[in-house]
Structure 1
Amino acid sequence: MNQSIAVIGSSNIDLIAQVAHFPQPGETIGNARYSQAYGGKGANQAVAAARAGGNVTFIASVGKDTFGQTMLTNFSKEGINTDYITQSGEEPSGTAIILVNEAGENCIAVAPGANALLSSELIDEARIAISGAEIILLQLEIPVETVAYVVGLANRLGKKVMLNPAPAQPLSDDLLKHLHYLVLNETEAALLVDHPVETTHQIEEAANKLLQKRVQTVIITLGARGAYVATRREQQMVSAYGIQPVDTTGAGDTFCGALATALSQQKKLNDAIAFANAAAALATTKLGAQPSAPTAAAIAALMKEQSFSSDEDF
């Protein structure tokens, strides 16, 4: 059974210039190589969930401009329900201006634009989609007040909420206690528990602290090491898939989208995490965030090729 997923979050256009070096104040650099890409953590996760086989509704705010229309067209091509994406004339669509030098380093300036207008009022307009969803998937590139409002509404409706707290920022215990799934990397976990999250002991300690805040399921993604999952009943490492990475951009978003899809299809938790690990691994084999999100068939093929069970020790 493939129940629906409501992804609520940001959508951007990435404006990318590859340059020989970063300009000094007042300097103009010629011969830059320019490209555009779809971005925004919410949009990345919605696309990843849809490609992984999910029935996805995306709730977002974009501008009433060319970028906004282009994004809507792209979501429709991906099979995503766009009925609850609002086009605003008050702000332009969100953009990220990215300079990449020859060493692969980047400088990024994000203009949230219409993403900042995703308010509780717009969430209320999407209440039907939220009430009909199996999983509500959120990130932190929209106002945190809106995130808190969604979590409260979902709790009243008896819905399962998955939060990816990125970009990292402090969160209240009142918000955390209503989460069914908290999916975060070591950096994001370290901010929430106020200590480094690097060693095995530190990972276990961080998961326990977050469980004590009444999060039902904590999933700490560890890149090539896999993902550590903790509930009140058990704690376990789910192994990563061995693959040669080309670009890790968007792998975390792909993990979240694929995990939401697997859970909406009623997969067991560890099986769902293994599915998400495979999706994230495949996402590192191509450039870009949304372009690298794999299909359900590709994920299944990798899992079959590298069939193994979860490991308790790591």
Structure 2
Amino acid sequence: MSAISRPRHRGAAAAAALPVPPPDSSSAPFPAPARLLKHIRYENLAAGLSGGVIATMVLHPLDLVKIRFAVSDGLKVRPQYEGMLHCMKSIWQMEGIRGLYQGVTPNIWGAGTSWGLYFLFYNAIKAYTQEGRQDELSALEHLVSAAEAGILTLCLTNPVWVTKTRLVLQYNAEPDGKQYKGMLDALVKIYRHEGIPGLYRGFLPGLVGTTQAALQFMTYEGLKREQNRYKEMPSEALLSPLEYIVMAAVSKIVAVAATYPYQVVRARLQDQHNNYSGIADVIRRTWRNEGVEGFYKGMVPNLVRVIPACCITFLVYENVSRLLLGQYH
């Protein structure tokens, strides 16, 4: 009887013995840290850092001009510029080449670290999401991966961006008349007088800004995939420098056009010459005093800077990462 009765329970016992399937990684808001770590490739960090540093060293003066236009709200303490060339000429006449490179140290640290960490996190999150799958990631999955990478990167680098903004908004030509002597001095003084909140000014609009990078990476990955499909090559095949430059430029233009106002809000929050109670106060006062144009101040010099910067960064990254990973053929 016992031998006959056993089969009645075999189905239940077998069901109980079946392994529980792992949770769907794509449904989790952030990857599990332990599983994510095995996808970390420091070659991506080195390649992203290289691209960010090279682009920043070449194009920092345009970044300085962009920030000065972004905060241009009519205060008498600020110099008045008629355009990009007039701004650069005025700075050159007053302070020489050194004036055009105010804030370059935190910018190099910030851009290099940000791009390095961004590519590190982005590729790790992509690999985590792709784990155990044969199909390619969708546009939405690229968007989410890039957004998560952007949030992680911003949490680590926001103090550097506050420091850079403060340094490039020092208008006094005399070194003794400047509030901050350099990056370290600015970090110490901001922390001493404003605490941790001072170092994280502009963090919330910065979070909004992660949508720009997310849109850019989604567009860039889509363009790469379509180009390789058109050429009947694997989706991750190495493309020509010109192809990377064109795709980086197009993806950046799309992203900037969609999200630029957040940069104006962020720069004004971080500016030491004005006091805003928060994001809503910046938006209200900018709208009241300058209208919709106020939210797009500095966009032209920004595009003139970010398009070549993006092209340089992505071109260097694609080639250096493949070289370091042994995929360069």
Q: Which category of TM-score, normalised to the shorter sequence, fits these structures?
A: under 0.3
Q: Relative to total residues, which structure has the larger helix share, 1 or 2?
A: 2
Normalised TM-score (structure 2): 0.26
Give the number of the structure with larger relative contact order, counting CA–CA contacts within 8 Å between residues 6 or more apart. 2
Larger Rg: 2
TM-score in terms of structure 1 length: 0.27
